[in-house]
Amino acid sequence: MTAVIIEDEIPAGKRFEKLLMNKDFVVLAILPSVVSALKWFEENNHPDFVFIDIKLRDGNCFRILDKIQIQSKIVFTTAYDEFALKAFNYNAIDYLLKPIDESKLDKMISKYDAFKTGFANALNWKVLEENIENKFKTSFLVSSGNHLKKIESHEVICFFSDANASFILTNQKRQFAINNSLDNLEQKLDPELFFRINRKFLVNKKYISALKNESQMVLQIPDAKEFDFVVSRLRIKTFLEWYKK
């Protein structure tokens, strides 16, 4: 998941960035003011989440929200609770008081994941009930030399990101660049077959031969021994429920 932090205290912003990165977020920017935030959102695609302090050096954050319709989940992070009611008028999904309590951040992430799973389950049930055509993406066109090559999803060991690009690893141990982010792929692939184990990997269940659980949970995928498939700590419970189906 991608995130932007709007925080005028740079050391606090850096600490929060480290905390989010440990939760598998990719922090795109730390913005210290209303002016810098307005400029950034006008020039860039909006992230999955915006963590926004209310009182900034050149005004409060509502100046930003009144001028730009941010297409992200908004979480307010502030030392002042008197703005809570007004904050939720801007469709915030949570309100975290500073200093940020890691357990409350975990609850916010879990709440979001639960809502997302609930919506996905409702949609999948409707698809089954109405017996309509499967809408999951089952093939991909990739560039192979001077040709285009079609890869079926059952041939894919995993999708992975590296250096701000995304790739397919096939069961022929070949890698191809793909013009999709992992966030986008996660929404398009069959969730019965593919799982996002961390911010870098989306794996195909059929190629997992075993699980190794010591200090961390690692997937054993014989055809991709060059990679370390470590399940994010926050996703282990959901992964195990998915894997045993």
Do the beta carbons of residue 59 and residue 8 sit within 8 Å? no
Q: What is the mean pLDDT of residues 15-24?
A: 92
- Collapsing DSSP to helix, strand or coil, 130 comes out as helix
Other C-beta atoms closer than 10 Å to the C-beta of 93 total 15
pTM for the predicted model, two decimal places: 0.47
Which domains, ranges and CATH numbers included, belong to the chain?
2-111 (3.40.50.2300), 139-243 (2.40.50.1020)
d(CA 158, CA 229): 10
pLDDT at res. 2: 93
Exposure letters 7-39 (e unless 16+ CB within 10 A, then b): bbeeebbeebbeebeebbbbbbbbbbbbebbee
pLDDT at res. 152: 92
pLDDT at res. 102: 87
pLDDT > 60? residue 117:
no
Read off the amino acid at residue 172: Q
pLDDT at res. 77: 86
Other C-beta atoms closer than 10 Å to the C-beta of 119 total 10
pLDDT > 90? residue 87:
no
pLDDT at res. 160: 96
pLDDT digits (tens, 9 = 90+) for 24-47: 899 999 999 999 999 999 999 999
Which strand (E) or helix (H) includes residue 187?
helix 182-188
pLDDT digits (tens, 9 = 90+) for 118-167: 444 443 434 434 443 446 788 888 888 778 889 999 999 999 999 889 99
Q: What is the DSSP letter of 134?
A: P
Do the beta carbons of residue 51 and residue 95 sit within 8 Å? no
Q: Output the average pLDDT for the chain.
A: 84
